Every structure is written in structure tokens, then in C-alpha cells.
């Protein structure tokens, strides 16, 4: 099984801040890494797929990078609507999610 370690588990930030969330895989997953945003009571939605490809319609302040085992999600200038929980997901070997990062 591939394990995903995501950190930090929570992050306190303010509007306008630059925020970075990290995800580490227990073995190389090439670029099989996706990022999701989830708001309370709602289903997750994809932001970034294939490590760095921005999903159509997602604001350009979101970006992803990395390959192999280490990945990051960056929000360049935090907006009010970005306060949510973020999950990484590997799809190299079945599916595993990171533990989530709550942005508050």
C-alpha cells in the first residue's frame, strides 16, 4: 500500500497570505497526485490533477508542484472562499488520501 503523509494538519492564515501544503508519498508515485478542496457539508472538488495541472475553472492562485514522493499545493494569495480542508490523493496504485489540512 502507498501511504500519504500530509502536513500541516491545520494551518492558521489570513486573507492575502501565501500558503503551502505538503504531501509526501511512502514510495514514488511519479506525478499521480491530485489535490482536492472540501468545504463543510460538501463533497470534495478537484483543484489540481497530475501534480501540477490546474483543473479548468479553478482560480490561478492555486498551483501544484512535485513528482516522485514530495508534492506541494500553494495558494498564492489566500481569499475568504479558500478557507476549507485540502486533501492530496495518490492514484498510482489504487487510491489513498492524505489526512487533510484544515485551513483556518
Partner 1 sequence: QVHLVESGGGVVQPGRSLRLSCTASGFTVSNDAMHWVRQAPGKGLEWVAVISYDGSQDYYAESMKGRFTISRDTSKNTIFLQVNSLRVDDTAVFYCAKQTVVRGLAYFDSWGQGTLVTVSS
Q: Which parts of this chain interact with partner 1 (CB under 8 A)?
A: 1, 31-32, 34, 36, 38, 43-46, 49-50, 53, 55, 85, 87, 89, 91, 94-100
Strand 62-67 versus strand 10-11 pairing type: unpaired
Between 9 and 77, name the residue whose CB sits nearer to partner 1: 9
Helix, strand or coil for residue 7?
A: strand
Between 28 and 77, name the residue whose CB sits nearer to partner 1: 28
45: β partners: 37
Least distance (Å) between residue 49 CB and partner 1: 4
* Residue 35 to residue 96: CA distance in whole angstroms: 12
Between 17 and 69, name the residue whose CB sits nearer to partner 1: 69
Helix, strand or coil for residue 81?
A: helix
Amino acid at each position: 500500500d502507498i501511504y500519504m503523509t500530509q502536513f500541516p494538519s491545520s494551518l492558521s492564515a489570513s486573507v492575502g497570505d501565501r500558503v503551502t501544503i505538503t504531501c509526501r508519498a511512502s514510495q514514488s508515485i511519479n506525478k499521480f497526485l491530485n489535490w482536492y478542496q472540501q468545504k463543510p457539508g460538501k463533497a470534495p472538488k478537484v483543484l489540481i490533477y497530475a501534480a501540477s495541472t490546474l483543473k479548468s475553472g479553478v482560480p490561478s492562485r492555486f498551483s501544484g508542484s512535485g513528482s516522485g514522493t514530495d508534492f506541494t499545493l500553494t495558494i498564492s494569495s489566500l481569499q475568504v472562499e479558500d478557507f476549507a480542508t485540502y486533501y492530496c490523493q495518490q492514484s498510482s496504485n489504487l487510491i489513498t488520501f492524505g489526512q487533510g489540512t484544515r485551513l483556518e
